[in-house]
Amino acid sequence: MSEQEFKHLIRIANTDLDGNKSILYAMRKIKGINIMVANALCGLANIPKRKKAGTLSDKDASKLTELVKDLATIGTPEWLMNRRKDPETGKDKHLHGPDLQFTQDNDVKMLKKVKSYRGLRHQWGVPVRGQRTKSNFRRNKGKGSLGVKRKSGTKAGKV
């Protein structure tokens, strides 16, 4: 490949990916795609995992975009999906990008609306999944202790 054909940014699934990284690790920037899903997508598209993202042709990039959109229908195993047994449809889905964030927000709003235990924990801003609350999840963590402040303008030893 010549220097002119290398792209520093490549667009897959409405996300700009770094062209200097291998395609396996560059696809992690897409929300909802991790290394396992990226590995499966590269295998389905017959693209080498270690190939730099900037050297992909437009045809390969469009093939990956289509595979990301249709991940649930192309025969990937259900354990790879991030939305299994959707409450509305009952089907397995794999969401990515803004759809994933929108769906997560709606799920939390629904939990709050029905006032389930998890919904109430979300409302109160405390841990939802059973973590300890005595030592962790404090609001002022990391700000340091206040202690005793001395008056401004006075030095130690002088009254």
| Sequence spans of domains, the chain | 3-79, 97-124
Per the listing, tokens 């939305």 go with 83
First to last CA, the chain: 78
**Residue 66 corresponds to which tokens in the numbers above?**
């289509």
**What is the model's pLDDT at position 6?**
86
**Residue 87 corresponds to which tokens in the numbers above?**
């409450």
Task: Return the higher-pLDDT residue of 1 and 61.
Answer: 61
Arithmetic mean of pLDDT over the chain: 85
One CATH from 3.30.110.40, 1.10.150.120, 1.10.8.50, 1.10.3720.10 for 3-79: 1.10.8.50
| pLDDT tens string 14-61 | 889 998 999 999 999 999 899 999 999 999 889 999 999 889 989 999
**What is the model's pLDDT at position 133?**
84
Handedness of CA 69, 72, 77, 82 (dihedral sign): positive
**What is the model's pLDDT at position 35?**
93
**What is the model's pLDDT at position 82?**
87
What is the percent of the chain where pLDDT is above 70? 88
The CA R_g of the chain, rounded to the nearest whole Å, is 24
| pLDDT tens string 86-113 | 888 888 888 888 888 999 999 999 999 9
